[in-house]
Amino acid sequence: MNPDPDYSAAYLRVETDAGDGLEGHGFVFTIGRGNDVQAAAIRALTPHLVGRDVEGILDDMGGFWRELVWDSQLRWLGPEKGVMHMAIGAVVNAMWDLKAKRAGLPLWQLLARMTPEEIVDLVDFRYLSDALTREDALRILRAAEPGRGEREARLLAGGYPAYTTTPGWLGYSDEKLVRLCREAVADGFGMIKLKVGGNVEDDVRRMRLAREAVGSGIRIAVDANQRWDVDEAIAWMGRLAEFDVAWIEEPTSPDDVLGHAAIARGIAPIPVATGEHSGGRVMFKQMLQAGSLSVLQIDAARVAGVNENIAILLLAAKFGVPVCPHAGGVGLCEAVQHLAMFDFVAVSGSAEGRVIEYVDHLHEHFVTPTSVSDGVYHAPTTPGNGMEMLASSRKEYTFHD
Amino acid sequence: MNPDPDYSAAYLRVETDAGDGLEGHGFVFTIGRGNDVQAAAIRALTPHLVGRDVEGILDDMGGFWRELVWDSQLRWLGPEKGVMHMAIGAVVNAMWDLKAKRAGLPLWQLLARMTPEEIVDLVDFRYLSDALTREDALRILRAAEPGRGEREARLLAGGYPAYTTTPGWLGYSDEKLVRLCREAVADGFGMIKLKVGGNVEDDVRRMRLAREAVGSGIRIAVDANQRWDVDEAIAWMGRLAEFDVAWIEEPTSPDDVLGHAAIARGIAPIPVATGEHSGGRVMFKQMLQAGSLSVLQIDAARVAGVNENIAILLLAAKFGVPVCPHAGGVGLCEAVQHLAMFDFVAVSGSAEGRVIEYVDHLHEHFVTPTSVSDGVYHAPTTPGNGMEMLASSRKEYTFHD
């Protein structure tokens, strides 16, 4: 589906005149063409930032989110989806980066130390109330409050489970696939992921090779990147079922709530995972209501930033569905780990069945690159949201106009 | 929901070196801020047009649509929704304008004279096959074939039913509402529409006044413009039910398939109408599968142009749901009438329960303004898709950079 990605990002840097030298950084990950469209959309939000009192924004991040998402003229271009919505995400994330740096805390810790009341104030429950109310969210957050300290300590000591997509890209030779599978196990990963959907016989052969290479104790997920229609997905997964599939990811159109639900019924007990291309909170609400997914995949740069992802984490907790974030791309690992760790400490209170995607690519461009070893993400302790790229990388790779 | 619209359009004009002086025109309607983002998205599609052989594109409009929608890098910015998808719509529509002008036919007539096989070749059935296959579509189109000539003649003689939203904007005084309702009836409209959702007591009073003004023989629809959550919509419509409501339009988030379905069940037999902000064919498919709507509202400039709207017309025909297009804005009446008329002649074969929205606003800027009188749209006979603005209007109102 994505034969020629040219990994890119529309990048935003927010300066203030506070004199503290702190900046807020955020971006939208793209795969090439259209990055300039994404940059234009971020520029269209400038009036919501320039000349504003920064403390006023940082003290009411829920209100700031609503101001951007409910800008009635910009909302026409979605609403709440596509280019304009992702641009709002970059701005919201950049302000969270600034807020976390001012607090001297990594984002996950800043969020995990807020009170349940402060957290629900970040969330817009409009259009969600048939599935999740403010009171539901408060109950979830209060239930997780007693264990916060203990879980934060566990996280800092032991990290958060990771899985790797490195072995499984289409186009690798069988030899390379087997070698990378073995390396993943040797590196301590308890789960790997393979891309599927090109040719079913190839997929069967590659799954068999991968299963033989890693043994029965390692989980193997597969990812179809939206290639199939409903019936095709069910038939294809029937061929792969014998290999003990951890989940099938994006079997069809990311907007097809009912299609995903039909596939989930048709391939049970294989779990369906989706979300990296989801339109956002209203779509996730429906995916949970319809039983479309049993693994929910948030993305740090697809929806309207931290606030919307908190809404989605709360929805997942309400429905008892584990969140296993999408990552990779440019800086998505650096960014999304904060949300998973916040979820563990303060929302779901569990890492059971949860795992963050890891792709070992482009981390060298970030001020705080992810630290992954022994199959876990080590919790970042540097202040901020993780999205800040090195100034030297930004300078070297800027695509002018 | 849209308190301060500043009606705008990102406008596209396609020239060729054929020497025939014919141009293709298309646009995306916006309501102000963000129009420049939409323009940037159209510019991002230039490589798909400039330097290409125009006959190659016009002879394979289905292939051209797929080329744009499945551009893997641009697709990342949706997929199939928001700014990038609407930009594709402008390009596709502009090429249909050129094709119709070259054929010397209004778009509706050009489409309605294509064979069923040619029409299905325009449609991408990917992600639709669980609800509509190519064979289903062929069956629908072949069933409508025998009556095409007779219906074309009826359309040219008698027009297509219109309804007017002019009386019902929020903010009008009761006196103005009553006066405009009476004028609408005097002008021959069989249906009017009122905006609702601000204050329920105001809505009850306005509905009573409108119903008294028009009498029991005129249909009155109401439009909430996405204001409510599910339970709120059901309760609010309970208050309006006594006034014989023709439909409730956009009761909640346009992406909420399951929410619309819950509302439809909760307010039956009042019909639910939606679609002007729908993400496109995959969303409409689900709305039909779930029983979310019983009136389907296409928009000429929201989805990826003529081809996608044909897919949606075919889906509606498969499910036996009437299509009542959204219009208004800038040039949406001029554009969408072609799709409704094509539907009547060659797809559903019926105008029963169908009606095109009409707002008497900004038509003076178009080369072929809509002709509405006696409550009907008179079928346009000028070649093209209706989207071409007067050169003088384009010059006078261009917002530079």
Tell me the per-residue pLDDT of A358-386, one tens digit each, with 9 for 90 and over.
Answer: 999 999 999 999 999 999 999 999 999 99
Give the pair of three-digit tokens for residue B189: 């409209």
Specify if B336 maps to a domain. Answer: yes
As beta bridge partners, residue A222 has A194, A248
Specify if B125 maps to a domain. Answer: no
pLDDT of B401 reads 57
Is pLDDT above 80 for A400? no
Taking the mean position of all CA atoms in its chain, how far away is CA A295?
12
**Cβ–Cβ under 8 Å, residues A261 and A292:** yes
Candidates B46, B76, B303: best to mutate against A (most CBs of A within 10 A) is B76
Residues of A in contact with B3 (CB under 8 A): 72
pLDDT of B279 reads 82
Are the beta carbons of A76 and B257 separated by less than 8 Å? Answer: no
Tell me the average pLDDT across A282-299: 98
Confidence of residue A401 (pLDDT cuts 50, 70, 90): low
Give the pair of three-digit tokens for residue B387: 């989207």
Q: What is the pLDDT along chain B (401 residues), one digit of tens a residue?
A: 888 899 999 999 999 999 999 999 999 999 999 999 999 999 999 999 999 999 999 999 999 999 999 999 999 999 999 999 999 999 999 999 999 999 999 999 999 999 999 999 999 999 999 999 999 999 999 999 999 999 999 999 999 999 999 998 888 999 999 999 999 999 999 999 999 999 999 999 999 999 999 999 999 999 999 999 999 999 999 999 999 999 999 999 999 999 999 999 999 999 999 999 988 999 999 999 999 999 999 999 999 999 999 999 999 999 999 999 999 999 999 999 999 999 999 999 999 999 999 999 999 999 999 999 999 999 999 999 999 999 999 999 998 75
Are the beta carbons of B37 and A44 separated by less than 8 Å? Answer: yes
Give the residue on B whose Cα is nearest the Cα of A34: B74
pLDDT of B223 reads 98
Distance CA A15, CA B229 (A): 38
Does the CB of A244 have a partner CB in chain B at under 8 Å? Answer: no
Residues of A in contact with B283 (CB under 8 A): 255
B195 labelled catalytic: yes
Tell me the shortest Cα–Cα distance from A38 to chain B, in angstroms.
8
Tell me the shortest Cα–Cα distance from A72 to chain B, in angstroms.
5
**Among the partner residues B36, B74, B129, nearest to A44 by beta-carbon distance:** B36
Query: Which amino acid appears at position A363 of this protein?
Result: H
Query: Which amino acid appears at position B273 of this protein?
Result: A
The number of distinct structural domains making up chain B is: 1
- Of chain B residues 19-48, which have a CB less than 8 A from chain A? 30-34, 36-38, 40-41, 44
Specify if A2 maps to a domain. Answer: no
Q: What is the pTM of this model?
A: 0.98
Tell me the average pLDDT across A51-67: 97
Specify if B325 maps to a domain. Answer: yes
pLDDT of A250 reads 98
Are the beta carbons of B130 and A83 separated by less than 8 Å? Answer: no
pLDDT of B267 reads 98
Does the CB of A226 have a partner CB in chain B at under 8 Å? Answer: yes
Domain with B349 in it: 148-397
Specify if A278 maps to a domain. Answer: yes
Comparing CA positions, the residue from A30, A67, A70 lying closest to residue A52 is: A67
Does the CB of A79 have a partner CB in chain B at under 8 Å? Answer: yes
Does the CB of B67 have a partner CB in chain A at under 8 Å? Answer: no
Specify if A137 maps to a domain. Answer: no
- Of chain B residues 314-373, which have a CB less than 8 A from chain A? none
Does the CB of B6 have a partner CB in chain A at under 8 Å? Answer: yes
CA angle at A231 for the pair A227 and A232, rounded to the nearest 5°: 40
Tell me the average pLDDT across A305-332: 98
> How many beta-carbon contacts under 8 Å exist across A and B?
179
A195 labelled catalytic: yes
Specify if A322 maps to a domain. Answer: yes
Candidates A74, A86, A130: best to mutate against B (most CBs of B within 10 A) is A130
Does the CB of A78 have a partner CB in chain B at under 8 Å? Answer: yes
Specify if A225 maps to a domain. Answer: yes
Is pLDDT above 90 for A279? no
pLDDT-above-90 percentage for chain A: 97
Q: Cα separations (Å) of A126 from A131, A274, A290, A308, B90?
A: 11, 23, 19, 12, 31
CATH number for B217: 3.20.20.120
